[in-house]
A = this chain, B = another copy of it.
């Protein structure tokens, strides 16, 4: 957490003006944390695959499980993580629970993610 004695930079600051400027323009600490957490949730293969299946259609747990060839338990666990993060919402219809994306930003974020992949892959 705090600077260790080996740290060079607790003494020398090379560009004070730049540091000051950037420090003032930095997003608030709490927003940064939340945003990183959002990406962390998107950054798991299983969860991200689930999201790609929900991009166009709402689906029930069983269908997702079948489509991705993953156990129902695993899908349920990760859907809960996605729910807690408010990335997906669910509605119950009898025994079946349908999941869908809860936020339009997610689609855009995912889209730009794919753009980055396609551009930097040659």
A residues with CB within 8 A of B: 2-4, 6-10, 12-15, 18-19, 21-23, 25-27, 31-45, 47-49, 52-53, 56-57, 59-60, 62-63, 65-67, 69, 71-73, 86, 96, 103, 105-106, 108-110, 112-121
Could you say which residues of chain B place their CB within 8 Å of the CB of A62? 8-9, 12-14
- A86-B35 contact given A8-B62, A13-B63, CB 8 Å threshold: no
Contact B48–A39 (Cβ < 8 Å): yes
Q: Which of B22, B45, B72 contacts A36 (CB 8 A)?
A: B45
Shortest CB distance A56–B (Å): 6
Could you say which residues of chain B place their CB within 8 Å of the CB of A13? 62-63, 66
Contact A43–B42 (Cβ < 8 Å): yes
Shortest CB distance A10–B (Å): 7
- A7-B43 contact given A14-B96, A57-B22, CB 8 Å threshold: no
- A23-B67 contact given A36-B45, A39-B48, CB 8 Å threshold: yes
Contact A73–B119 (Cβ < 8 Å): no
CA distance A65 to B10 in the complex (A): 9
A-B contacts, 27 of them at CB < 8 A, read A2-B69, A3-B69, A4-B71, A7-B72, A8-B72, A9-B72, A10-B66, A13-B62, A18-B57, A18-B59, A19-B63, A19-B67, A22-B67, A23-B67, A26-B52, A32-B48, A32-B49, A36-B42, A36-B43, A36-B47, A36-B48, A39-B39, A41-B43, A103-B120, A105-B119, A109-B109, A109-B113
